[in-house]
Structure 1
Amino acid sequence: MKILIFGASASGVTTTGKEIAKRLNVDYFDSDDYFWKLTEIPFIERNDPQQRNSKIKADLDNSKSWILGGSIFQWGEDVFPSFDLVIFLWIPADIRIERLKKKRI
């Protein structure tokens, strides 16, 4: 089983993905872990796209069933296998904005 869950920032992709992965006993991968470098201040320095794509492809190929959370649509062709299910999460912008404000505090 290969599932992609995506949505705007603070729409609940990571929370939902991790919970579903836990219940299904499958691996969860988050696109942010591949897209961004691990820095003291998060989300400011991007990883090299070729290295990012190579790493995520290897990780997904080494897992039989998984859930991938995040927007990965412009990462290039032949990076991801066909998904069995794609889920788009949508919540009102005002709720997302409040969530983002709380994250930054």
Structure 2
Amino acid sequence: MASFPYQRINIVGASGSGTTTLGRALAARLGLGFADADDFYWKPTTSPFQEKFDTGLRLGMILDHLRQFDGTVVSGSVCGWGAELEDSFDLVVFLLLPTSLRLQRIEARETALFGGANPAFLTWAAQYDEGKLPGRSRARHEAWLASRQCRILRFEGDQEVAQRIEQIMEHAARTA
């Protein structure tokens, strides 16, 4: 979509907040490429989410993928992956949802994909707002967002994907 002013968009938030769902839908609506950060963070293993790619390899792989497209939507947190990627976004969309809703979504997704949710993963995901465990946390995301030079659009609370996309389109029209 030539009139859309943003060509590299990151959708970020806690696990279960809908970053992948929104990212895929927005990329399809705009005719942009799509990348899920998890696909470049985790090695494909029989039991998923067990082995991480080396940080340098991870960055190189996602940058190579993004170069295939004129514009791209990246879902997931890329905090700490490297300035070449992190500073390349011209829009970041930050999703915030209540913990209870996120955990319900995670449990449903993990049950559908893997037959059940890993209790350790649910514990990790539940502490996002407090940031007691390593990895993603609200404080880490807020600090990362504060250091961005691009536009930031925040969504708090539950909304339909189509409604979020319309709000992104309206925001883009106002800022173009």
When the two structures are superposed, what TM-score results if normalisation uses the length of structure 2? 0.57
Q: Which runs of 5+ in 1 are unaligned?
A: none
1:58 Cα offset (Å): 1.3
d(CA) in 2 for partners of 1:17 and 1:10? 13
d(CA) in 2 for partners of 1:83 and 1:76? 12
- Matching of residue 27 in structure 1 with residue 37 in structure 2: no
User: Which structure has greater helix proportion?
Assistant: 2
Q: Which residue of 2 aligns with 1:100?
A: 106
Aligned residue among 64, 81, 94 for 1:58: 64
- Matching of residue 47 in structure 1 with residue 53 in structure 2: yes
- Matching of residue 90 in structure 1 with residue 132 in structure 2: no
When the two structures are superposed, what TM-score results if normalisation uses the length of structure 1? 0.92
Larger Rg: 2
Secondary structure, in 3 states, of the residue corresponding to 2:84?
A: coil
Q: Which runs of 5+ in 2 are unaligned?
A: 1-6, 112-176
The answer on whether the counterparts of 2:11 and 2:23 sit within 8 Å (CA) in structure 1 is yes
* 1:21-55 residue CA offsets vs partner (Å, 9 max, x unmatched): 11111111000000000111111110111111111
1:104 Cα offset (Å): 2.8
Larger RCO, structures 1/2 (Cα 8 Å, 6+ apart): 1
